């Protein structure tokens, strides 16, 4: 990490420019490698000529490496005086500030055979001892004050940039309340913010990848698997600047054509690895490592929030005893299904079933045993119907089943199969009411009412049976299938 990684470069340059103007002489800063990183004012022509073979800066670097005082004066190999002061902050040296090419003692000047160099020497104006003392005092003040100021501004600027970045992240992901949408949004955010070639993210058994090219899909999976094994074992960031040559990845077929730069960061919560992200890029990813880690911490919080929201949402629509959907969910689901089916002119069937003699069982065996019966019959129902069907606990010992695009005959077969399975279970029996609307042109209130009527008829008819009604159209009334088959009557509202 260099000087610009700890100090605010803009402020340093501005204040060094002011120092240069004040003393009417050039000033420059070199880092610990001897590179000029900040230059203020115009360097004398002699310095520029000597810079052609790097001899000047190399000579100066040799002198400043041994400086330990606040300000040291030394002669360069051309015989010009230089004032140098080390930049030390938090007991660490970051570089040196130099006021170069001061002509204080003409006798020290080296003679040059080249006319060009001789002319360049003559263009340098001498400096008085009084000026040298003033320069020394100003340079001492500069290196004492500026590292502190520039470090503080760097921290504040970095914090502002980080907050701005996190605000962008919040805007990109703040409305995501579903896990898969959150993962897609984060992947998209990383790709565009960091100019990535690709990005994949894994969390809580879900995954998202920006590019899903079939030709390279298996290679990405191999890289991700290797990264996962490393993160699982070490819980630490995996970073490489040459993916194809890295010991972990170089044996993967096809890796040589992949982007060189790669980072994988773990998502750790309560010491558990709950996911990770992989980033692929053509450019160096080290500059974004720190902010990526901060974003990942924020993502973990977002992930936990979405998970909690999902749990709350699920609990709001789930019956706590049976684990089935509850009445509130059912009411919305049956409305939505009827609207959809009516638009497509498809049939919809609805079952309401009631556990026979459940109150008597509760009174005889107690409520805990009754709860077991409710859970068992709820489980039988959830396994008896198709995946597209929706089983809900309606209330008490009543349950409902929405069967989309289901004809009357198919619905009766399903209902009978379920009834027999409950009977074979030996717990209790169920009375099943069934209504099928052939074109789904019915209000959800009437739909439920007719299914309820069918269920009560099953109760009155001896229980443990299925009674089925059919609604051809809401204007034509309801057909009782059993009665219609026997005497051909039509039941009117």
Element (H, E) at 421: helix 408-425
- Whether the predicted pLDDT of 476 surpasses 70: no
Integer Cα distance of 441 and 33 in angstroms: 81
The pLDDT tens digits for 218-257 are: 899 999 999 999 999 999 999 999 999 999 999 999 898 8
- Contact yes or no for 318/328 (Cβ under 8 A): no
Strand partners, 392: 325, 400
Q: What is the spatial distance between Cα 325 and Cα 393, in angstroms, rounded to a whole number? A: 6
Q: Compute the C-alpha angle 26/27/32, nearest 5°.
A: 145
- Give the residue extent of every domain in the chain: 3-157, 174-316, 327-487
User: Which residues make Cβ contacts (< 8 Å) with residue 364, sequence separation at least 6?
Assistant: none
What pLDDT, on the 0 to 100 scale, is given for residue 174?
79
Which helix (H) or strand (E) segment holds residue 9: the answer is helix 9-23
φ/ψ (deg, to 5) at 437: -100, 115
What is the per-residue pLDDT for 399? 97
More confident residue, 3 or 269: 269
Residue 158 has what pLDDT?
82
> What pLDDT is recorded for position 493?
44
Using CA atoms of 224, 229, 230, 233 in order, give the dihedral in degrees to the nearest 10: 150
Mean pLDDT across 252-267: 92
As beta bridge partners, residue 279 has: 199, 263
CB 193 within 8 A of CB 277: no
Strands (E), 156-260: 198-203, 206-209, 238-240
Query: What is the arrangement of strands in the sheet containing 466-471, beginning at the earlier edge strand?
Result: 390-395, 398-404, 348-355, 430-437, 466-471, 478-480
Of the candidates 58, 30, 25, the residue with the CA atom closest to the CA atom of residue 125: 25
- Cα separation, 218 vs 223, in Å, equals 9
Q: How confident is the model at residue 484 (pLDDT cuts 50, 70, 90)?
A: low
Q: What letter does residue 42 receive in the DSSP assignment?
A: P
Give the pLDDT score at 491.
45
pTM for this one? 0.55
Average pLDDT score over the chain: 88
pLDDT in tens, 103-119: 767 776 777 777 777 78
Give the model's pLDDT for residue 357.
95
| Mean pLDDT of all residues in 22-41 | 91
Query: In CATH terms, is domain 327-487 a member of 3.20.20.150?
Result: no
Residue 140 CB: number of other CB atoms within 10 A?
A: 15
DSSP character at residue 325: B
As a whole-number percent, the residues of the chain with pLDDT over 70 amount to 95
pLDDT in tens, 284-309: 999 899 899 999 988 988 888 888 87
Q: What pLDDT, on the 0 to 100 scale, is given for residue 379?
A: 95
Label residue 54 by pLDDT band (50, 70, 90). Answer: low
Q: What's the confidence (pLDDT) of residue 393?
A: 95
Q: Which CATH number applies to 3-157?
A: 3.30.450
**Residue 233: exposure state from Cβ atoms within 10 A (0-12, 13-18, ≥19):** exposed
The two structure tokens encoding residue 105? 């003692």
Nearest to 278 by CA among 302, 310, 245, 248: 248
pLDDT at 492: 44
For residue 144, give both structure tokens: 């004492």
Output the CA torsion sign for 43, 45, 51, 52.
positive
Q: What is the CATH number of domain 174-316?
A: 3.30.450.40
Residue 395's pLDDT band (boundaries 50, 70, 90)? very high
pLDDT of residue 205: 84
> Matching CATH topology for 3-157 and 327-487?
no
Q: Note whether 75 and 83 are within 8 A (CB).
A: no
User: Mean pLDDT throughout 64-86?
Assistant: 81
Residue 251 CB neighbours (<10 A): 9
């Amino acid at each position: 990490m260099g000087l610009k990684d700890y100090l605010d470069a803009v402020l340093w340059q501005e204040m060094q420019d002011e120092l240069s103007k004040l003393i009417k002489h050039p000033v420059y800063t070199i880092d610990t490698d001897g590179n000029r990183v900040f230059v203020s004012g115009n360097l004398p022509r002699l310095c520029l000529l000597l810079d052609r073979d790097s001899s000047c800066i190399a000579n100066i670097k040799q002198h400043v490496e041994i400086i330990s005082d606040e300000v040291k004066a030394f002669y360069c190999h051309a015989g010009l005086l230089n004032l140098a002061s080390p930049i030390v902050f938090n007991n660490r040296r970051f570089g040196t500030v130099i006021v170069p090419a001061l002509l204080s003692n003409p006798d020290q000047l080296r003679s040059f055979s080249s006319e060009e160099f001789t002319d360049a020497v003559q263009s340098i104006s001498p400096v008085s001892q009084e000026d040298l003392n003033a320069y020394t005092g100003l340079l001492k003040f500069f290196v004492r004050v500026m590292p502190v100021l520039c470090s503080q501004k760097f921290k504040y600027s970095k914090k502002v940039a980080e907050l701005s970045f996190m605000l962008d992240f919040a805007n990109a992901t703040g409305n995501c309340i579903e896990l898969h949408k959150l993962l897609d949004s984060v992947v998209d955010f990383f790709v565009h913010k960091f100019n990535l070639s690709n990005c994949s993210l894994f969390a809580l058994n879900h995954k998202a990848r920006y590019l899903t090219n079939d030709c390279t899909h298996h290679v990405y999976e191999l890289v991700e698997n290797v990264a996962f094994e490393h993160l699982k074992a070490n819980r630490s960031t995996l970073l490489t600047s040459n993916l194809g040559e890295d010991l972990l990845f170089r044996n993967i077929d096809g890796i040589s054509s992949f982007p060189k730069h790669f980072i994988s960061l773990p998502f750790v919560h309560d010491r558990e690895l709950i996911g990770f992200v992989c980033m692929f890029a053509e450019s160096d990813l080290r500059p974004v490592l720190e902010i990526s880690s901060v974003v990942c911490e924020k993502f973990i919080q977002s992930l936990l929030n979405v998970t909690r929201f999902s749990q709350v949402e699920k609990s709001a629509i789930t019956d706590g005893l049976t684990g089935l959907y509850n009445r509130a969910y059912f009411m919305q689901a049956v409305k939505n299904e009827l609207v959809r089916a009516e638009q497509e002119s498809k049939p919809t069937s609805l079952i309401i079933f009631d556990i026979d003699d459940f109150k008597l069982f509760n009174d005889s065996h107690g409520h805990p045993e009754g709860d077991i019966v409710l859970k068992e019959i709820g489980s039988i129902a959830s396994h008896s119907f198709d995946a597209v069907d929706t089983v809900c606990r309606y209330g008490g010992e009543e349950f409902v089943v929405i069967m989309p695009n289901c004809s009357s005959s198919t619905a009766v077969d399903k209902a009978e199969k379920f009834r027999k399975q409950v009977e074979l279970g030996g717990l209790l029996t169920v009375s099943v009411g069934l209504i099928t609307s052939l074109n789904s042109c019915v209000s959800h209130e009437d739909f439920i009412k007719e299914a309820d009527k069918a269920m009560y008829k099953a109760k009155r008819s001896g229980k443990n049976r299925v009674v089925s009604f059919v609604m051809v159209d809401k204007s034509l009334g309801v057909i009782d299938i059993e009665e219609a088959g026997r005497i051909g009557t039509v039941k009117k509202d």
